[in-house]
Amino acid sequence: MIDFLWNLGSFVIALGILIAAHEYGHFWVARRCGVKVERFSIGFGKAIWRKVGKDGTEYVLAMIPLGGYVKMLDERVDDVPDELKDQAFNRKSVWQRIAIVAAGPLANFLFAIVALYVMYLIGVPSIKPVIDATRLDSPAAQIQINEPMLITSVEGTPVKNWEEVTYALVSQIGEPKIAITLSPLEHSGQPLDSSLGTKYSLDTRNWVFDPDKESPISSLGLDIYRPAITPVLGLVSPEGAAAAAGMQVGDTLVAVDGEPYVAWDDFVAKIKASANKAVVITIRRAGEQLQLKVTPSERKGAQGQIEGVIGVAPTQADWPESMKLQLEYGVLDSFGVAVDKTWQLISVSFKMIGKLITGDLSVKNLSGPISIAQGAGSSANYGLVYFLGFLALISVNLGIINLLPLPVLDGGHLMYYFIEVITGRPVPEKVQEIGFRFGAAMLLMLMSVALFNDFSRL
């Protein structure tokens, strides 16, 4: 319940900030173009707070925080007194109307730059993209790894951390080949001379990537370097079978059913194979060995199979300093990095839309408000810099979605206005009405698919 409320609260805050930025873009440009704004609302439905400003605009916070709007004076909607007609939206030139409508998505892109700017000023702890093995029968099987190797670029794009590697790989979904460059590490963790880097061309014609099951990195067969897992328990779920049997954080695993503990993966395999079957786990606590009888509860695995689970997780050795990375820049440099990162997010997002249209990416990858709420809660839980990164990502996606040429969205209005620029006359209202109905139906269908995907992931 606490997690639900945290996710919900984080979602409402994030959405409120992004909607405010989007609608303020419309509001600011409309005012500069001489349009009278009657209402600036964050949310829909009944108002929970309202205030009329000195500018005559009614500012509103409404109960349903799933959108917002800027109500402008418009003769197509209401009767407008003669003395105010020059302030009506419909009386403005087509280029002014284009500027007002385009300002919303543009404000989302600008907000992303600001959020990332602050994030890079604060500094983002990160991990260098180092792999220590590749899997057989995978696109990466051709790469022979004898020592940890650093990924320095994907398709010619330099990468510094795993987030950048992920974005670069996702943007290549559907391509027959993906080029990655690997460099050996010095003891300092820095790559050696770039001439020593090796470029590999991965055959991805049969690459299958299911984001619900694994990352694009692991689906290619690249094994991420991780510090050694220790046999000391770092987490014991209060509701799990382990806690019920008396296991505690800090216990050291010694044996399972008399077989000495060797590796965490072997321990997990034993537990998974023992759903509803008691096992005897030997642990060491405060210098004393204890034997505890634990009966793993059952759950469905990724393939629908029944597997055992006891609700524990191990501790991990510290990351080597050479693998750590602090993405932190100065007052001026942060702005350039933020602009470049925002452009990357915009480019990847447009590529993903294109791949959805061509079928290279399944509609199963669409996410709705539930997934966004979970992402908001998780990022807020990790701290301010991660929440800022999440806000930037969602802001870019909100801006791009609104640019789609669906008549009910900003992009649809822009489409009509550009047709007006070309033809010299407005699109007939009957045609616009048909378009709005079609756009609403399409948007409802996309939202339904996204919600279905959200519920299927729960």
Provide the residue ranges of all domains of the chain, joining segments of one domain with +: 2-33+92-123+389-457, 126-227+318-327, 229-316
Which CATH class for the 229-316 domain?
Answer: mainly beta
Q: Are 387 and 15 in contact (CB under 8 A)?
A: no
Average confidence (pLDDT) over 295-302: 83
At 449 the pLDDT is 67
Q: Say if residue 421's pLDDT is above 80.
A: yes
pLDDT tens-digit profile of 403-419?
A: 988 888 899 999 999 99
At 326 the pLDDT is 87
| CATH number for the domain running over 126-227+318-327 | 2.30.42.10
Query: How sure is the predictor about 373, in pLDDT bands with cuts at 50, 70 and 90?
Result: low
Beta-ladder partners of 130: 150
Query: How sure is the predictor about 192, in pLDDT bands with cuts at 50, 70 and 90?
Result: very low
Q: Are 256 and 282 in contact (CB under 8 A)?
A: yes
3-state secondary structure of 349: helix
Q: Say if residue 338's pLDDT is above 70.
A: yes
At 188 the pLDDT is 43
Q: Which tokens is 413 given?
A: 């209005």
Task: Single out the catalytic residue among 23, 163, 175, 288.
Answer: 23
Is residue 288 flagged as an active site residue?
no
Do 126-227+318-327 and 229-316 have matching folds? yes
Q: Are 229 and 314 in contact (CB under 8 A)?
A: yes
pTM of the model: 0.79
Q: Say if residue 238's pLDDT is above 60.
A: yes
Whole-angstrom Cα distance, residue 58 to residue 173?
Answer: 47
Q: DSSP of 382-423, one letter per residue?
A: H-HHHHHHHHHHHHHHHHHHHHSS-TTSHHHHHHHHHHHHHH
At 377 the pLDDT is 65
